[in-house]
Structure formats: C-alpha cells, structure tokens
Amino acid sequence: MTSLLRRLPLSRLLAVSAVVVAVGVGAAALALAMGSGPVPPAKPLADAVHDALTAPHVDGVSARVTLTNHLLEGANLASGGGGEASQLSTSPLLSGASGRLWIGPEGHARLELQSEKGDTQILWNGKTAQMYDASTNTLYRYTPPQNSSGGSPTPSSGSNGTGTSSGSAGSGPGATPNTGSTHQPPDVAKIEEGIEHLKKHAIVSGATPTDVAGQPAYTVRVAPRETGSLIAGAEISWDAAHGAPLRAAIYSTESASPVIELAATEISYGPPASSALTFTPPANAKIEDLTSPAKQVSGTSGPGASGTGASGSGGGEKPHVSTHGNGIASIVLVESPVKPGSKAPGASTLEALPKVDINGVKAAELQTALGTLLSFERSGVRYLVAGSVTPATIEAFARSL
C-alpha cells in the first residue's frame, strides 16, 4: 500500500486520501448535529463503551449529512490558472458539502455529496471501494488485498460501478456475525484496561453525555500527549441506545473548530432500500483502477532516520521511504530517482502550489491545517517530505538533506 501511494500523482493522492477520510468517517461515524434531543445519563467511559458494544443489533442506517472540510483552506491549490488544481479545490470532498449516507445490514455503504458541479458518490460493497467524481466524470476503484490464503482479488474489468456485491458481509451497523463465530465483546474490566493503556500515549476524556441528530449520545475526545504536531485531537460520538457511531471530527492546534467533520441532521435505523446502496456512473465515465503492487520489499531507513523504511525491488530504482523522529510529529521522506528529461507524475498540480527556496532549489509546498507536504528535485532525485508539522519544521528538515 505504501508503494502504491508514493507512485500516485499529487492530485490522485489527494483524491484517495479524501476517499479514505470520507468512507472511514462515513461508515464509522455519522456526525454531530447539536439540537434539543434527549441526553443520556452520565456514566464512566468504560461502561458507556461496553453498553455500545453490547447494544441491540442494528440492521442499517439512513441519514442526511453535512461534510465540513477545512483541510486545504487557504492552500492556494487553484493558483496558477486551473487544471487539476482548480478541480481539486472545488471538489465537495475538499470544500465541504451536504448529502446522504446509507449503510446496509451487511456493512455495504454509499455516501452521496451534492454540489453545483455534480454529485460525488462514494461506495463500499464489501470488497471494493469506489468514488465517482462528477466534475471530472471519473470513477476511481480500489480493491484491498484479502488477508486469506486465496490471495488478493483484482478489480473486475468492465464493471459499471454499482455498489452491490455478492461478497461476504462486512463490518458496520447491523453487520451479521459470521456463522459459528465465538467472538464476544470485552467486559468492563478489559475495556478499562485498554483505556488505561491508551492514556499512556494520549489524553482521553470521559464519556460526555450529549445529543447527536436528536439521538442520546456520548462523546469522547482523544488528544496526543506528545507535542510538536499540528494534530490537536479527535472526537467521536455514538448512539447511547443503539451503539452505532454518530460523529467523528479531527482538530488542529491552529483552531478550536474541527478541521474535518461529517454531521448528520437526520438519522433513522433500519435496512435501507437496496437501490440506495447502488450507483451506475455514466457510460462515458473514465475508469481509474488503483491497484496494489504485487510485492513490497522492506528496506532500511536513511541516514539519521528512526522508525522503518520501505523500498521496492529493482536495484534501487524504486522510491525509498524513511521516517525521521518519533511519534505523531515524525517526518516521512520519500526519495525517488528521476530520469533526465522525464516529467514527474502530478507535475501540473505541483506547479500550481506556492514555492519556497530549499538551498537554491524551488520546492512546491502544500500547507494544510493538519500537516505540510514539500516536493523538490535535486541531482537526479525527487524528494517528497511530509509530516503533521508546521511548514517551518518541514523546510528546516528539507534544508538538512
């Protein structure tokens, strides 16, 4: 997966990142809509988590949602005239939008975000994640490798992009346990033990009683103990009666408001219509299959690096990845050989980004509320530096290379 991501152009990397955020937040967390609904009684966090894990079975979810996304606010993606950068800056995934979410009894899900340039559709059918971007008339598909002896599945060719599948049941609200499964939720003592272990690395709040989209809910906030990162913390809310996650939000140290939040204004429980979980793109839609490399070979970290590195096979011709520093404020360095006269993937998008000077070389810099990405080429090597740190920290590290 690491090898796949480092090969993608910046535009597609941002699109994939947006899919991960939207699908993960949508399937695991419908979000906050503070109102005048009922509030549950106060209770210890371990008890509230245990009650959620042992709540009655939910057959599905239907909701109206609002996505707020300030991640790239002020990043000047559209500077330089348009093209991929302008399309990215107006995408509802990156600019925010309202829409609807459905999760079926087998964990299949569909998120629809509406915008003036056309809706964005995100689907999970138990095997394949898909995103259709109406502004570019492009369907992106990714099939994760299976952790079974059967090997990794390959994306089906000629698919019309529908969200239904005959695959096995997935996780999510109302997911049906596998026949013969003996898995049982942990008891309160085990949950308390896990929370205490988490508190060694993070600051964990109690279960705050609140209401989300008119439902009684609990909210918990987790913040890193380490300093130096732009990530201030994350919050998640879940339904006190049904146990279903209802809200997720990520916060930056630069603002008290969430950087990313998916908010439900209405929510109901029960299996959605099968048609709500399907989507057929236009016949002339462009199909982009994102596939994982067949092999990944572990490599060593670069000079001064701590953590792990990875590189593909091919006698050093593949990009090399290393981590520098520790914990949430660590920096990732990707070093890729560049052939003379070749043009780096995503070069048009990089050219639209603001430039900074790195030891006499012009580097493209993407500043976000949660981190910084820097890219430049020198002596036949393209350097990509990224981390959840300030631009000044990234630039200082780049100048030390």
Average pLDDT, the chain: 78
Q: What is the pTM of this model?
A: 0.72
**What pLDDT was estimated at residue 146?**
75
Query: Thinking of the domain 297-399, which architecture would CATH place it in?
Result: 2-Layer Sandwich (3.30)
Pairing of strands 297-299, 286-290: unpaired
- Domain range list for the chain: 2-290, 297-399
Q: Is the pLDDT of residue 55 over 90?
A: yes
Euclidean distance between CA atoms 332 and 321, whole angstroms: 7
Cα-only R_g, the chain: 22
| φ and ψ at residue 158, rounded to 5 degrees | 75, 10
Q: Comparing 55 with 177, which gets the higher pLDDT?
A: 55
Query: Thinking of the domain 2-290, which architecture would CATH place it in?
Result: Clam (2.50)
**What pLDDT was estimated at residue 382?**
93
- CB contact at 8 A, 93 and 67: yes
Identify the bridge partners of residue 321 per DSSP, sorted by sequence position. 310, 334
**What pLDDT was estimated at residue 163?**
42
Q: Express each pLDDT in 322-350 by its tens digit.
A: 999 988 999 999 999 987 666 655 555 56
Residue 368 neighbours by CB under 8 Å, 6+ apart: 71, 72, 75
Q: Express each pLDDT in 212-268 by its tens digit.
A: 899 999 999 999 999 999 999 999 999 999 998 888 999 999 999 999 998 788 899
Which amino acid is it at 355? Answer: K
Residue 101 neighbours by CB under 8 Å, 6+ apart: 26, 30, 61, 62, 63, 64, 65, 109, 110, 111, 112, 264
Q: Do domains 2-290 and 297-399 have the same CATH topology?
A: no
Q: Is the pLDDT of residue 8 over 50?
A: no
Q: Comparing 152 with 55, which gets the higher pLDDT?
A: 55
Q: Comparing 30 with 276, which gets the higher pLDDT?
A: 276
Euclidean distance between CA atoms 94 and 370, whole angstroms: 14
Which amino acid is it at 381? Answer: V
Q: Indicate if the alpha-carbon torsion angle 167, 172, 178, 179 is positive or negative.
A: negative
Secondary structure class of 318 (helix, strand, coil):
coil
- CB contact at 8 A, 277 and 163: yes
